[in-house]
Amino acid sequence: MWILYAFGSALFAGLTAILAKIGVRHSPANLVTALRTVVVLVFAWLVVFLVGSQATLATLDGRTLLFLVLSGLATGASWLCYFKALQLGDVNQVTPIDKSSIVLTVGFAILFLGETDNLAYRLVGIVVIAAGTYLMIQRTPSASVPAAQPGTAAQPTPAGRTRLGWLAYAVASAVFAALTSILGKVGITGVESNLGTAIRTVVVLVMAWVVVLVTGEQRRLREIPRRDLVFIGLSGVATGASWLFFYRALQEGPASVVVPIDKLSIVVTVAFASLVLRERLTARAGVGLALIVAGTLVMLL
């Protein structure tokens, strides 16, 4: 059953990236993250009260709470980096790098959680996934960078800084996402999965709004178009659904397999990016996507 939960997580995570990309187009990335988290928090706690898991809140021990908080902090950092990267780059550029957290997660799960069953398949899988991720990193043509005038030194352009910017944020997002999965796996073992998701979301919410207040982006709240607010809200609902499926799967299944299945959301994301955002996939990136899917399937053997 945990495999079905993992695929459900992948579906909603794929929708999240597209909905968030639309919502972040004309708004500060940190503020969008904070607003989305409000929606996720409401969604998560609504599910908690619907299933009655709030009754187990008093039974949580300090170790479980510690790892849930640490997982929430890692999630918040990953989100802030991810949506900033989405604002600066294309979905088809950012998503493959963010999904490369698979490699780190599987490595951490083997080293720290002792998940060594079918180790050969998992190692082959992460090598194939890493190769696919590399192929999916699309390079911006050098023609887009203005040439320097004769006799003058080339100056860094805003476009050049943007290219470097989205890449740095996407890599940071992947690192924090990997930490999120491992910390979440440890923390979720001692708590009902819906309640664990809700507790982590509280941490993410506090972290996101602290960043907004520090940067002063709250002053631009009224500038967000109503249409963008709708998509921000929808992406929050999709995120909440993805989290609920993901942490239920993580509670029952091994992190080194649940996470790769969840990262198959890249297929959903690429498909919708092509249909909705008209972001075309190159032949090289198409091969990379096929390798990522193949590597994930190998790990399921």
* Tens of pLDDT, residues 25-73: 777 878 888 998 999 999 889 989 988 888 888 888 888 889 989 999 9
**153 domain-assigned:** no
Q: Is the pLDDT of residue 170 over 70?
A: yes
**155 domain-assigned:** no
**149 domain-assigned:** no
Number of domains in the chain: 1
Q: Is the pLDDT of residue 233 over 60?
A: yes
What are the helix (H) ranges across the chain?
Answer: 2-23, 29-51, 62-88, 91-99, 101-112, 119-136, 158-188, 193-215, 226-252, 255-262, 265-276, 283-299
**147 domain-assigned:** no
**272 domain-assigned:** yes
What share of the chain has pLDDT > 70, as a percent?
90
What pLDDT is attached to residue 146?
40
What are 187's two structure tokens?
């923390």
Q: For residues 68 and 151, give the distance between their C-alpha atoms in angstroms, rounded to a whole number.
A: 58
**72 domain-assigned:** yes
| Cα R_g (the chain), whole angstroms | 19
Q: Is the pLDDT of residue 263 over 90?
A: no
Q: For residues 167 and 85, give the distance between their C-alpha atoms in angstroms, rounded to a whole number.
A: 7
What pLDDT is attached to residue 206?
94
Helix/strand/coil (H, E, C) string of 22-71? Answer: HHCCCCCHHHHHHHHHHHHHHHHHHHHHHHCHHHHHHHCCHHHHHHHHHH
The residue-averaged pLDDT of 138-161 equals 43
Q: For residues 73 and 75, give the distance between their C-alpha atoms in angstroms, rounded to a whole number.
A: 5
pTM beyond 0.85: no
**154 domain-assigned:** no
Domain that holds residue 213: 2-140+160-299
What pLDDT is attached to residue 84?
85
Q: Is the pLDDT of residue 272 over 90?
A: no
**150 domain-assigned:** no
